[in-house]
Structures are given as structure tokens and as C-alpha cells.
Amino acid sequence: MTDPLKPADFHILLALLDHERHGYEIMKEVERESRNTVRLEVGTLYRILARLLDDSLLQEAGGDGRRRNYRLTAMGRRVVKAEAARLAGVVDRLRARKLLPHAEA
């Protein structure tokens, strides 16, 4: 079992799930996907990106000289998938305890 991801890390990995993005695009996608509940300051974003690069969850994907693009590695995909499964399990337990409604079919 892996440790849970920090919420900001999870949202960054989700932002890169479908295609590579540069830092500003990542920030905006995280805000959009989280419905503005996760907002990243520039310095925080780049510290997290550096850590995710060091952890081999991301890799640089070139850029245009001014901006660096980032993309998930195979390990990054496995980690985000494992975290999504862990969170789905939490939701299932909350529904079983009647703290969340069951999803409608």
C-alpha cells in the first residue's frame, strides 16, 4: 500500500492525466477541476513540480524556450490511479455509514 498523496499533488497529477501542460496551464486546470477549492501559488506549484520530478512521477516534456511542459510518467499514472482507487474506497465507506448519498444510476 502506498501513502496517500497530498491533495495538491493529486490535483496536479490529475491535471496532467490527459496531456502535457506548462505551469500556468496546470494551475488553471487544478483550479477548474477542483471548482476553485485548490489554488496554488506559483512558488508552491514549482516546489511541488520539482518534488514530483525527483520522485519520478513527472518528467519534463520540452517547451517553447519560455515555458517547460510536464507530463506524467508511467509510475505517475500508477500512483494517481492507486490514489483514485483509495479515495473511491473512502467514498464507499462514507456511503455505507450514510454520510454521503448513494450515486444515482
Domain count, the chain: 1
User: Distance (Å, rounded) from C-alpha 15 to C-alpha 31?
Assistant: 10
Does residue 92 belong to any structural domain of this protein?
yes
pLDDT in tens, 22-51: 999 999 999 999 999 999 999 999 999 999
For the stretch 67-81, pLDDT in tens is 899 999 999 999 999
Domain CATH number, residue 90: 1.10.10.10
In a domain, 85, yes or no: yes
Whether this model's pTM surpasses 0.75: yes
Q: Which residues constitute the domain of residue 37?
A: 7-96
pLDDT of residue 83: 96
Q: Which whole-number Å values give the CA distances from 104 to 23, 84, 87, in the listed order?
A: 36, 20, 19
Q: What is the mean pLDDT of residues 73-99?
A: 95
